[in-house]
A and B are shown apart, each in its own frame.
Chain A
């Protein structure tokens, strides 16, 4: 477990970036998130762990209001980003999502070329004026997504023609290309081999210097390796939230302990 060392890096005391107060989410009659309160600090990596179906993705999607696209979904409570309520009527979800990027659980490349997939965000936000600037952003993003070497010779081939793991990294590159302040990653390494996983984790650690990253993962080792804060969800409840090192070495709730030990063995 020497990998766990990374999480013990010194935590700078930072401001709260996202703060959730009494958040409840309902899908029709299903109560998917129950009274969640959490404060996610700036410039940190926060891991969401918990058994399948416990509401990790649901809560993640609340943070950039992606749940608005689901008709039956209803969110109550407050979520503040930089002390501003994102569910306020005056907030434009489009602007919010430009600031809070997302990598989805299932890779969803657009039916466009690899290049156009990555250039999509910068183009709609007008981040680049010339073709050369876009070229630069595309290359940089693909490098950060750890996929540049594999696709540099076929940037104009369709993104949907890549393998599952390559698509996942393409989606990561696409999300970082817009330079969001917060990056929400829903199981970004679920289809990646150990080498690509390591590269993505390196990217996450690198992003931490400027942004907040929230990552959902089923791998305890990964949570321990990349995150400074960990939140454990169970059946829609946030059971425990704290420093990763504490959660993994000294969980205060028996459910957390049995989940972690059950997984790590």
Chain B
């Protein structure tokens, strides 16, 4: 039975459970709500949840475990002789699955009975052509071992899904029966339902945390692979970045420092542009601007946030870059390149202005009017009030906004590629082309990649380093915010 049907039937059972639970609760209280411990609907929810949740749980576990277990069983059946030199057990298994799938389709289309699929033989039928007729194209002729494995595969999966169906229904009906037995006027349905809801919430947050952990772990794993092939000291302290894709390993120099330098240099310039402008704009909008000005200017600034970064990149490439070169770099004798740290930094700063300003604006608006009144009432001017009362009160939030902007600056890629170029360089001159960690992650992973060479694996080490940096930034931000909280609350 297809899974969707099982799910629908379980849901229908849950609905029945809701109705029955309510009715039973009413009956046990002789129709008087006051005698019930909880509102009748809670008894219904209790029954519905006890019906649906265990069944869904069974289905979920089963769907995850089934392919793994069956693959292991069938995989073990394939003799080593059936695996050719250039192939692996995994590739053969995927052939097996495709054949099994094709056979399923044939049965569904009615061209074969279930019986006949078990009696197919390589010698008597052209399996490849037969499967091709239902749209399952295979790369080569089907080996006898693969065919028999596929037949076993079908049998096993058929048995397994039957098992799942039965177990799911048993769980649903068992839950329904149990919950209805529980239901009487003294049963604390509200407490039970609330703790079930609580555990659902806990499961949801656990999934979020586990995903993060999973991402970090996979990065860690690949990074370890990288460091088994490349000296970590050369990576962290190397000042040259020159990967070679032709000569494997050896000749490549994969030093992190030039990339890290480029990342930090560009981010700092971006923040130097974005923070003052964004903050002053926020102060103007929230403290000085009239309602009309505010309602016009705020959306305009926020439009900046909606522009895709690639458009900013174009702006950097064709406008800002050449302008900086012609008016600053060349006259000052600082360089000939249109791609430069300055270009990317300024354009990225413009991109970050709305982040800083709209977050700071909200935070400044949240400062209570009574504080402003207190300061104005003492004879302070508006700007004294803003400098000495409003901004300090909003500071934790503003620091948070700035660090958020910093994280974005560090992670930004598109503007850097188009504004600062892709040349890794350790240089103080802001009119030189440089590049960042993110750009190099992209360039190491695009094109023909081989996930076993250090030139590719280095991307994971770079990614992990970046992750650790942004994590550190967030921890610092939290610490700052907490320190101010302690002081002011």
- Chain A CB count within 10 A is highest, among B370, B374, B388, B392, for B374
Residue B110 lies at the interface, judged by CB distance under 8 Å to chain A: no
Asked whether, in the complex, the Cβ of A104 is within 8 Å of the Cβ of B377, the reply is yes
Query: What residues of chain A lie closer than 8 Å to B224, measured between beta carbons?
Result: none
* A60-97 contacts to B (CB < 8 Å): 64, 66, 69, 71, 94-97
Query: What residues of chain B lie closer than 8 Å to A161, measured between beta carbons?
Result: 489
Residue A120 lies at the interface, judged by CB distance under 8 Å to chain B: yes
Residue A108 lies at the interface, judged by CB distance under 8 Å to chain B: yes
Segment touching A, from B8-16, B314-322, B378-386: B378-386
Asked whether, in the complex, the Cβ of A121 is within 8 Å of the Cβ of B489, the reply is no
Residue B469 lies at the interface, judged by CB distance under 8 Å to chain A: no
CA of A175 to CA of B376 in the docked complex: distance in angstroms?
11
Asked whether, in the complex, the Cβ of A104 is within 8 Å of the Cβ of B369, the reply is no
CA of A6 to CA of B381 in the docked complex: distance in angstroms?
39
Asked whether, in the complex, the Cβ of A124 is within 8 Å of the Cβ of B378, the reply is yes
CA of A161 to CA of B380 in the docked complex: distance in angstroms?
24
Query: What residues of chain A lie closer than 8 Å to B377, measured between beta carbons?
Result: 64, 66, 97, 101-102, 104, 175
For the A-B complex with A108-B373, A111-B389, A160-B488 known, give 6 more contacts whose Cβ atoms are closer than 8 Å: A69-B369, A94-B380, A97-B379, A101-B378, A112-B488, A120-B388
Query: What residues of chain B lie closer than 8 Å to A109, measured between beta carbons?
Result: 374
Give chain B nearest CB distance to A156 CB in angstroms.
10
Choose one: B371, B379, B384, B392; the contact of A108 (CB below 8 Å). B371
Residue B375 lies at the interface, judged by CB distance under 8 Å to chain A: yes
Number of chain A residues whose Cβ lies closer than 8 Å to a Cβ of chain B: 30
Residue A98 lies at the interface, judged by CB distance under 8 Å to chain B: yes
**Given A71-B291, A94-B381, A112-B392: A120 and B370 interface contact (C-beta under 8 Å):** no
- From B382, which residue of chain A is reached at the shortest CB distance? A94
Q: Can you name 14 A-B pairs with beta carbons within 8 Å?
A: A66-B377, A94-B379, A95-B379, A96-B379, A108-B368, A110-B389, A120-B388, A124-B378, A124-B388, A158-B487, A160-B488, A174-B374, A175-B377, A178-B378
CA of A225 to CA of B376 in the docked complex: distance in angstroms?
30
Choose one: A98, A106, A111; the contact of B378 (CB below 8 Å). A98
Residue A138 lies at the interface, judged by CB distance under 8 Å to chain B: no
Choose one: B369, B371, B380, B489; the contact of A124 (CB below 8 Å). B380
A-B contact count (CB 8 A): 76
Give chain A nearest CB distance to B370 CB in angstroms.
4
* B123-140 contacts to A (CB < 8 Å): none
Residue A125 lies at the interface, judged by CB distance under 8 Å to chain B: yes
Residue A146 lies at the interface, judged by CB distance under 8 Å to chain B: no
Residue A224 lies at the interface, judged by CB distance under 8 Å to chain B: no
A interface with B by C-beta (< 8 Å): 64, 66, 69, 71, 94-99, 101-102, 104, 106, 108-112, 120-121, 124-125, 158, 160-161, 171, 174-175, 178
Asked whether, in the complex, the Cβ of B368 is within 8 Å of the Cβ of A98, the reply is no
CA of A212 to CA of B393 in the docked complex: distance in angstroms?
33
Residue B23 lies at the interface, judged by CB distance under 8 Å to chain A: no
Residue B98 lies at the interface, judged by CB distance under 8 Å to chain A: no
Q: C-beta contact mask, B349-386 vs A, less than 8 Å → 1, else 0?
A: 00000000000000000001111111111111100100
- From A105, which residue of chain B is reached at the shortest CB distance? B370
CA of A106 to CA of B371 in the docked complex: distance in angstroms?
10
Query: What residues of chain A lie closer than 8 Å to B373, measured between beta carbons?
Result: 66, 69, 104, 108
CA of A160 to CA of B489 in the docked complex: distance in angstroms?
6
Asked whether, in the complex, the Cβ of A111 is within 8 Å of the Cβ of B376, the reply is no
Query: What residues of chain B lie closer than 8 Å to A160, measured between beta carbons?
Result: 488-489
Asked whether, in the complex, the Cβ of A97 is within 8 Å of the Cβ of B374, the reply is no
CA of A101 to CA of B373 in the docked complex: distance in angstroms?
11
- From A174, which residue of chain B is reached at the shortest CB distance? B378
Asked whether, in the complex, the Cβ of B381 is within 8 Å of the Cβ of A171, the reply is no
CA of A245 to CA of B373 in the docked complex: distance in angstroms?
34
CA of A97 to CA of B374 in the docked complex: distance in angstroms?
11
Choose one: B368, B378, B393; the contact of A120 (CB below 8 Å). B378
- From A161, which residue of chain B is reached at the shortest CB distance? B489
CA of A110 to CA of B389 in the docked complex: distance in angstroms?
7
Asked whether, in the complex, the Cβ of A108 is within 8 Å of the Cβ of B370, the reply is yes
Choose one: A64, A98, A110, A178; the contact of B374 (CB below 8 Å). A110
Asked whether, in the complex, the Cβ of B376 is within 8 Å of the Cβ of A124, the reply is no
Give chain B nearest CB distance to A115 CB in angstroms.
13
**Given A108-B368, A108-B371, A158-B488: A69 and B376 interface contact (C-beta under 8 Å):** yes
* B374-408 contacts to A (CB < 8 Å): 374-381, 384, 388-389, 392-393
CA of A223 to CA of B374 in the docked complex: distance in angstroms?
25
Give chain A nearest CB distance to B341 CB in angstroms.
39
Asked whether, in the complex, the Cβ of B392 is within 8 Å of the Cβ of A111, the reply is yes
- Chain A CB count within 10 A is highest, among B373, B376, B379, B381, for B379
Asked whether, in the complex, the Cβ of A110 is within 8 Å of the Cβ of B379, the reply is no
